[in-house]
Amino acid sequence: MARISRGRTIRNVFLYTLSVPFVYAIVWFGTFGGAAIRMHRRATFLSDMGLELHNSSDFYLHTSSDFRPAGAGKCYSVPESLEHADYAAAGKYVTDIKVSPVCAFSWKDDAGYWFDLMGQYHGMGPFLVAVSLFTTVLYFVTSSDSGSLVVDLIANNGRESHVVQRVFWAITEGAVAIALLRAGGPESLNALQSISICAGLPFTVVIMLMCTALWRALKIDQKHMPARDQRVDWALPLYGGIFDVLEFVLTLGKSGLPQSKAVLDFFLGLFAPPLLLWKSLRGLALLQTAQPSSALQDGFMAAACSLTYSAWIILQILTGAKVENASGLWGIAWTSFVGFAVLVASVRHTVRAHFKIEGSGLEDLVSALFFWPQTLAQMVQQVETPQKPSMKEVTPGEEQLKPSVEKKEAEI
């Protein structure tokens, strides 16, 4: 993707790699998914009609199906008409006998769904099956070629290499895949498919973070946002604090251990979040010069935080203990937790707005939903860390304009 995108604008890359495949996927799944649902419903209908009219659900059974496993769904030949009072009138039973036979899906033959769908088109079934196999092979060949290119570039430190080396990596990848499938059998393939599906959710979060990082990098490039060393930022990043322990281990002690206060605040945010919320609100009130919040207002916020967080924990315990008439408490529990996250996100937004820190309300909500202990610790450290007066007064984008202004003044 990076190679073919060279020389193109970011708008072109996003337009042709995101919008066009998205529209194509909608059309593809809408067309063939709808055709598959229709085929299965027609097969079920003919089975019911055979049982009702002829006392046999297999009356319309298509008996010339070849190469179908024993567990596959039954296929039915579509009749021109039905001897039924509800379908005797003109226009009541409309069908196309050329779209026949129609097959019912069975989970025992999930690998054959596509071929059943293609086989229903009279006279074109074998041709469509051959085209499907050809395009499937082409898909895997091109995917393997792209993977071989990436591995080849990594192995050669990004430099162009001889084509023989790329062929070697392609053959090696294919041999490893064949060996794993031969050793594990069909169960290994099913496990790999399940892992791929399960990995989609966390990878979606990674993509969201990448998109946010790219968006901010573009804003900095276009001077719509100050660079990191020219703006006020969080004193404690979300990935800092207690998470620095992992970096300490991976760097073999070179990065240093996190501050004890950051670790303590993390656990306080986990077991006593109202306390950290109160400290954040009162610390922010001391810094605000115009209309600071009162202790009573902050107390109400801390009480609401305590109520929602405690309700979430207590109701989850009651649900797990299978208390009588407590089957629906889990919904109330998660509603309470979302309310708690909204409270934390609103306070984080207030702190961020006071210090003029870049961000958005969606980021505040996501951080409060998934990293609320670290978010609370982050807010406390932000209001307790002394800020440089020169940096506190800078508005986003203003600091980046200073070098150009000073340069023009020097030229004059």
SS (H, E, C) 297-341: HHHHHHHHHHHHHHHHHHHHHHHHCCCCCCCCHHHHHHHHHHHHH
Q: Is residue 366 part of a domain?
A: yes
For position 30, what pLDDT does the model report? 95
Of 75, 57, 78, 79, nearest in space to 119 by CA: 75
For position 391, what pLDDT does the model report? 43
Residues 6+ apart with CB under 8 A from 294: 285
Contact by Cβ (8 Å): 121, 100: no
DSSP assignment of 207-237: HHHHHHHHHHHHHHHTTSS--GGGS---SS-
For position 348, what pLDDT does the model report? 96
Do 392 and 253 belong together in one domain? yes
DSSP assignment of 85-133: GGG-STTTS---TTB--EE---GGGGGGHHHHHHHTBTTTHHHHHHHHH
Q: Is residue 164 part of a domain?
A: no
Measured CA to CA in angstroms, residue 404 lies from 216, 223, 407, 409 at distances of 21, 12, 5, 9
Q: Is residue 367 part of a domain?
A: yes
Q: Is residue 408 part of a domain?
A: no
Domain final residue, candidates 82, 104, 122: 122
Provide the CB-side half-sphere exposure for 244 (13 A, CA): 19
Helices (H), 161-294: 163-184, 186-221, 244-250, 260-271, 273-287
For position 406, what pLDDT does the model report? 47
Tokens 């810094």, residue located: 287
Do 242 and 110 belong together in one domain? no
Q: Which domain holds residue 26?
A: 10-122
Question: What's the number of domains the chain is made of?
Answer: 2
Q: Is residue 333 part of a domain?
A: yes
Q: Which two tokens stand for residue 316?
A: 């989850």
Domain final residue, candidates 94, 122, 150: 122
Domain final residue, candidates 55, 90, 122: 122
Q: Is residue 163 part of a domain?
A: no
Q: Is residue 407 part of a domain?
A: no
d(CA 154, CA 334): 45
pLDDT mean for each 10 residues of the chain (412 residues): 74 82 93 93 92 89 71 85 78 81 86 88 86 92 87 85 87 87 78 82 85 87 84 89 90 88 94 96 90 91 96 90 76 95 96 91 92 96 76 44 45 46
Q: Is residue 167 part of a domain?
A: no
For the full predicted model, state whether its pTM sits above 0.75: no
